[in-house]
Structure formats: structure tokens, C-alpha cells
Amino acid sequence: MRRSRTDTSSSVANIGPDDPRYLAVIEKRFNKRFRASPDYVRLAGSTDEVIAAVEEAVNAGRRLVVTSGGHCLEGFVSDPDVRVIIDVSPMNGIYYDANRHAVAVEAGATVGDAFRVLFEKWKVTIPLGEYPEIGMGGHVLGGAFGFLCRQLGLAADYLYGVEVVTVDERGKAISVVATRDPSDPNHELWWAHTGGGGGNFGVVTRYWFRSPGVSGDDPAALLPRAPRSITTFTAEWSWNDIDERAFLRLLQNHGDWCERNAGVDSPNASLWTLLEIHRKAFGKIIVRGVSTAGAAADQQARDHLAALSGTGAVPPNLEIRRMSWLEFALNPLPELFAAPPGGVSVKVKDAMLKKRLDDRQIGITYDYLTRTDHDVMGGVLGMATYGGRVNMVAPGATASAQRSSIVDMACNTGWMDPQDAEENLRWVRAFYRDLFAETGGVPVPGEAYDGAFINHPDTDLADPILNTSGVPWYAMYYNENYPRLQRVKARWDPRNIFRHALSIRPAESVTSRARD
């Protein structure tokens, strides 16, 4: 299905810098490192309004980008070259589409909106992200994983269809629906939206979700049932009790647990954990967990902590809570997502691990987290358990290529004072580089690593000074799927309207063939 407009006028006016709504849009950003200054922003409340906004910007030669929740970790939206921001957050409907036998979610809805409506209407869920304020628009495009990924897989694995506004060679904006159906002539466009990343092919206005292999007209039977309950736990180790030997043992034990429990048949597939190893100056190492194991969750948490300690001991400050699914989904692990007033600047450097860190890397980690020649209070290494049902899908079945990982690891830092930026960036870049020194400073896909996750973008991977592996950035994010994504790009965005620092580049020969 395609729709186009000959009249590009819209009932929604362009919002300039003198309008308070302009500031509301450009300040809607998770990472305060970047700030946009477009000529105007446009709030779009329908697909037709998106078509009009896109066509107007293209005809005027203004570079455009789209935003929904505003949680991009790099400056893809807040780019100095961007002249128009289209905000689709007014498009936040969630409903059952009887014609497509799927649940429709508009791109401006948040993860929290989706969790609430799916549960309150049909008692179902999708394994979406960890933070309820994330916008669905860009989240699903990158594959989307969250607390339930080990049990249910990626959100993109449940994507049945997508509506996207693209631009043809003439500059005409059209609305296209692409589905999972192999006979759909737009099938490749659907595939690209199952992990190809945001800002590449057009403006997504709507998603449709349905479990693979499921049919029927009962929305309560088309998606996974929501958990009956959620159990969370938090435990801490004081850095005062951790020397280098104890640190080595802790990370060895954590990595061994992840290797043993990465399979979908593991009794711990119902458990997701995050090991937060803050710098020593912070004072503590924290592990958080989320379990859907019901009555068995309490013991599951204790067994996990005992495995990490290696002694069978559980930290004395263990806190365990049990709650309803919706209570958890709308306010998950609040301490994890707390931010100071005004927000922070952050740098996240992601890596997907197929094996645990080796002892050399653990030594590097200990050094960077305990050394005193850097005053980086926001520095932390995060290690989220992965695998399970995520790894049941073939790397090429969706555009999400990372299907062999056991851990999603990130070297992170955050700061409030702009004067602290250089020191924080220097520390986190050196930390990451030294961790992956044997593969050119980056997690090159291979026996030990599976690249990086595009929803945690890092423009450093495209910098030959920081990535000396000789392996291009796109191989880190897309592995063998990149040439196919290039072909989709050439077909649906021949003018490269939708681009950013890590956007998919249409191959010259592919683009030329598409124009012939």
C-alpha cells in the first residue's frame, strides 16, 4: 500500500525558535552532549502530516531528521547540519488492527505506553526496552531488547509490519506498508526495520506486532502473555572489601555463569541481571536482577549471587521485591534510571560478548576502575546478561545480526559540567581501546565478540584513530547483513535523504543500478 500527497500544505505549522514548543522538542534529549538548532520543528500527528513535512523539507533542500522519545546516544538528531526536526510523538495510538490481525503501535508511543495498553487490554506484552520513556519509533528499528529478552527474544522478532514514509528519486514522499509476508513486494523494507537502525530508510509512522507463526483474530492470543509477576533484587559489594584477586574471581564467576546460562533451555532463562561495576571512588559494585520465575525467583536470585561470590555467600544487604508486571514495567529499577535535574552528558561504548572477558581484560578493568589519575566519578562498566531466545533466531532472519552473544557490555561515563567532557571522554575511550587491544581497539565479530548493538551507537567505531582493526564500523553493527541493508537503502532512499554519522551508505553500484 502506498499513499502520496500532491498538496503538501499541512494544518500543522512550522514551529520556529521563538515558539516555546520549539525548545520543548530540541530539549527532549537523553544525552546533553548534543544540542540541535534547526530552522524549525514540526509536530506530526498523522501519516499525512509526516508526508507533508518530509516533502516540504526535501523540496526546500533542508536536511531533516525524525525524533520520537529523544533517547539517541549520539548526535544523530542534534546535528548542526540538521535544519528540520519532525517530532512524531503526537502519533501515540495503540490498537488492534482487525484487517492485519495484529496490534498496531504508532511510532510516537513510548515503551511505557505500549506496556500499559498491551497489558490492560489483552494481558500480553512484547520484550521491549528497559526504560519506559523510550520512544517506539527508533527503539524497535534497532532490534530492541529489554528485561524479557532472554525469555522472549527481541521486540523486532515480533514485528509483523511497518508503515514508513520514504522519498523517491523525484523527491516525492510516499507512505509504504511492508510486512513479514515473504510474498509482500515490500518484504525487504520490512526486514530492514527489524534491526537496521533508525534514520536510514524513512520516517516510521506505525508498527504492527504479532508473534511469528501465530494467526487468528483474538489480540489476546497474538502476542506473549505478560508475566504473572516480577521479582527484582539488588545486592551490593563494598569496594573496600574487593582487592584485585577478589575482583578477578567476581568477574570470572560472572562470565562463567553467563556462558553456562546463555541457552534458551537454561532454567535461568527467566532471569536477567545487570552487573554495575562503578569506579572505586563511587564505593560499591551493584548487581540488579529481574526474574519471571514466580515463587522460585527468590531462590534463583540467591543462587545467582552465590555463584558470583564463588563462596556460596550472599551479600548481607540483598533486597528482593515482588510486584505485578505492570507496576514493574512502568517504573522498573528506578535507581538505575534516576538522573539529576537538567540531565547529564554521556558516552556509551557498547560491545556484544560471545565469551566472558579473559583474565587480561579483567585486569585492565580493575586498573581503569581503581586508578586515581582520572577524576571520573560517572565511570562504570555495565554487563547485562543476554542470549536465551535472542540466540534462537538466525543472524540473517532479521536485520539484528547479533545472535550469538551472552553479554551486552558497555563502558560508560557521564558528567554534568561541560568542562569535564574531555577527561571523561579520554578515560572511557582509553578503557574501551585497551579492553579490545588485541582486535584493534574494537569488538571485531569473531570467536569472542559479536560486534556492537546499533541502538547503543558509538561514532568512535568509524574513527580510524580509535578503530585500528581495519574492520569497518558497519561490520560491527550489521556483520554479514550490511550489503543487504545497502540494497534496501538504494531502493527506498535513492537520494540519501535519511542519513547521519552511522547511517547505512548505499553502495555506488547498487544506487546506480536502482536508477537505471
Domain regions of the chain by residue span: 2-87, 94-221, 230-478
pLDDT tens digits for 173-212?
Answer: 999 999 999 999 999 999 999 999 999 999 999 999 999 9
Measured CA to CA, the distance from residue 492 to residue 509 in angstroms comes to 15
- Which CATH number is 230-478's, of 3.40.50.12280, 3.40.50.300, 3.30.360.10, 3.40.462.20? 3.40.462.20
CA angle 407, 288, 350 (to 5 degrees): 35
pLDDT at 169: 96
pLDDT tens digits for 93-112?
Answer: 999 999 999 999 999 999 99
Q: Output the nine-digit C-alpha cell for 38.
A: 534547526
The residue among 106, 422, 406, 372 whose CA lies nearest residue 259 is 406
pLDDT at 337: 80
* Pairing verdict, β 84-87 and 159-167: unpaired
**DSSP states of 68-92:** SS---SSTTSS-TT--EEEE-TT--
The residue among 339, 343, 303, 338 whose CA lies nearest residue 320 is 303
CATH fold, domain 2-87, is 3.30.465
Q: Output the nine-digit C-alpha cell for 188.
A: 525487504
pLDDT at 12: 64
Measured CA to CA, the distance from residue 78 to residue 36 in angstroms comes to 4
Q: Output the nine-digit C-alpha cell for 161.
A: 509490519
The residue among 303, 113, 102 whose CA lies nearest residue 211 is 102
Under a CB-based contact definition with an 8 Å cutoff, are residues 207 and 105 in contact? Answer: yes
* Alpha-carbon distance values, 70 to 34, 66, 117, 121, 165 (Å): 11, 9, 21, 27, 19
Tell the residue number behind the cell numbers 501515540, with chain if given: 92
- Count the residues in the chain: 516
Amino acid at 436: F
Measured CA to CA, the distance from residue 194 to residue 472 in angstroms comes to 21
Q: Output the nine-digit C-alpha cell for 464.
A: 580510524
CATH fold, domain 94-221, is 3.30.465
Measured CA to CA, the distance from residue 336 to residue 412 in angstroms comes to 13
* Alpha-carbon distance values, 244 to 19, 279, 373, 410, 463 (Å): 55, 13, 18, 21, 33
The residue among 296, 30, 376, 3 whose CA lies nearest residue 163 is 3
The model's pTM: 0.94
Tell the residue number behind the cell numbers 499513499, with chain if given: 3
* Alpha-carbon distance values, 93 to 106, 160, 207, 322 (Å): 5, 17, 11, 30
| Contact partners, residue 58, CB within 8 Å, separation at least 6 | 64, 167, 171, 173, 495, 497
pLDDT at 193: 98
Measured CA to CA, the distance from residue 230 to residue 233 in angstroms comes to 10
* Pairing verdict, β 407-415 and 345-353: antiparallel
Residue 267 CB neighbour total at 10 angstroms: 11
Residues of the chain predicted below pLDDT 50? 1-2, 4-10, 509-516
The residue among 353, 273, 329 whose CA lies nearest residue 305 is 273
Q: Output the nine-digit C-alpha cell for 478.
A: 550489521
Q: Output the nine-digit C-alpha cell for 234.
A: 539488588
Tell me whether domains 2-87 and 94-221 share a fold: yes
Measured CA to CA, the distance from residue 39 to residue 22 in angstroms comes to 10
| Contact partners, residue 360, CB within 8 Å, separation at least 6 | none
Q: Output the nine-digit C-alpha cell for 398.
A: 532479521
* Alpha-carbon distance values, 486 to 76, 158, 290, 352 (Å): 19, 23, 37, 23
